[in-house]
Chain A
């Protein structure tokens, strides 16, 4: 099988891959930075509340120690929340460090579910990972794989209504692994068709394939079949 960087139209394909990868990176980092901003805003208001209490004491009001304790606990809680988001952002950014690496598919799916959670919330859709309690070591491109999974989630968003559900799972296959994203059937728009073509290209780059099958009324499963290992660097 030829790589994406070979044959007719190679240059356009490579440009498309680069543009899409950058777009994906931008969407995820923007979303995570928004989450960080929300946490910072809350901590900022809590600090302001402490200032207000102190200003009150300067005017002779007694300091409400219980309230100070509650504020301190809330600050600690939000600092922890912020740390977790930063950890996710950091892990996501480092997933682009190397074109091929060894990782656990289960951990990757957990990470994708968390980083795409806010995108789902904004769509009014629930996103859940229903993952088997087993690790599945794989050698592939973690960044492209996250891009493919989020692409499937975005396709489901296109046909979603409020309170719809999208689930992610994975399983072992003879040749490697299968990731299944089940959710609303995509809306069939030009953008969705274009996303489907791109995902097929991305999966080819990952040495795998993609298939779609109906999973019920207005619901479909998008399945990503991945080899256990890709040795050449993905494009």
Chain B
């Protein structure tokens, strides 16, 4: 089974450096970005099983980054990481399609569990879309 491919987005350089090292030691393939625009660039070039996204970032914040990431790839599973786990933020993020929410500092076991769940959700979504495409082809060809 290929390694889970994760994009970790946070403006705290030291935080993402250590967390990515811990995730890599658990067999994950981790890319990092220190800003919203940098994350979008990476998501445009590569597919990720999950994105771990900090809510509070300078410039483009987590909510705006989430919107843009979902435009790039609507199937992308984004787990919001926040120090301000307030209900309005959570509701807004979920409305915009965030897969989950996790308060910072996060327990790595919980984070990994959520990544696994996100990966399964993405696989189910992609399988459904593939089935839909096949059905459409079959219909259009009259087979």
Residue ranges of A at the interface with B (Cβ–Cβ < 8 Å): 30, 34, 37-38, 40-42, 44-46, 48-49, 52, 74, 78, 121-124, 162
A48 to B110, CA, bound (A): 13
A34 to B58, CA, bound (A): 13
Chain B neighbourhood of A48, CB < 8 A: 18, 22, 108
B14: contacting residue among A74, A123, A162, CB under 8 A: A74
Asked if B21 lies at the interface with its beta carbon under 8 angstroms from chain A, I say: yes
Given contacts A45-B15, A45-B22, 18 further A-B contacts (CB under 8 A): A34-B56, A34-B83, A34-B84, A37-B104, A38-B15, A41-B15, A41-B104, A41-B106, A42-B12, A45-B18, A48-B18, A48-B22, A48-B108, A74-B14, A121-B58, A122-B56, A122-B57, A122-B61
A40 to B57, CA, bound (A): 17
Asked if B46 lies at the interface with its beta carbon under 8 angstroms from chain A, I say: no
Instruction: Please tell me if the beta carbons of B59 and A37 are within 8 angstroms of each other in the complex.
Output: no
Instruction: Please tell me if the beta carbons of B105 and A52 are within 8 angstroms of each other in the complex.
Output: no
Q: Taking A37-B105, A45-B22, A49-B22 as contacts, is the C-beta distance between A124 and B58 under 8 angstroms?
A: yes
Chain B neighbourhood of A121, CB < 8 A: 58
Instruction: For B59, give the chain A residue with the smallest CB separation.
Output: A124
A47 to B18, CA, bound (A): 10
Instruction: For A35, give the chain B residue with the smallest CB separation.
Output: B83
User: Can you report 8 residue pairs joining A to B where beta carbons are below 8 Å apart?
Assistant: A37-B104, A38-B83, A38-B104, A41-B15, A45-B15, A121-B58, A122-B58, A162-B59
Asked if B140 lies at the interface with its beta carbon under 8 angstroms from chain A, I say: no
Query: In angstroms, how far is the closest chain B Cβ from the Cβ of A224?
Result: 27
Q: Taking A34-B83, A45-B19, A46-B18 as contacts, is the C-beta distance between A40 and B58 under 8 angstroms?
A: no
Q: Taking A38-B15, A123-B58, A124-B58 as contacts, is the C-beta distance between A44 and B21 under 8 angstroms?
A: no
B105: contacting residue among A34, A45, A49, CB under 8 A: A45
Instruction: For B16, give the chain A residue with the smallest CB separation.
Output: A45
Q: Taking A37-B104, A38-B83, A41-B105 as contacts, is the C-beta distance between A52 and B12 under 8 angstroms?
A: no
Query: In angstroms, how far is the closest chain A Cβ from the Cβ of B23?
Result: 10
Query: In angstroms, how far is the closest chain B Cβ from the Cβ of A117?
Result: 11
Instruction: For B21, give the chain A residue with the smallest CB separation.
Output: A49
Max chain B CB contacts within 10 Å: which of A45, A74, A78, A123? A45
Chain A neighbourhood of B19, CB < 8 A: 45
A42: contacting residue among B15, B57, B59, CB under 8 A: B15
Q: What are the nearest 4 A-B pairs in CB distance?
A: A41-B105, A45-B18, A44-B105, A37-B83
Chain B neighbourhood of A42, CB < 8 A: 12, 14-15, 18
Max chain A CB contacts within 10 Å: which of B56, B61, B105? B105
Query: In angstroms, how far is the closest chain A Cβ from the Cβ of B61?
Result: 8
Query: In angstroms, how far is the closest chain B Cβ from the Cβ of A25?
Result: 17
A219 to B96, CA, bound (A): 37
Chain A neighbourhood of B56, CB < 8 A: 34, 122
CB-CB contacts below 8 Å: B1-53 with A = 12, 14-15, 18-19, 21-22, 25
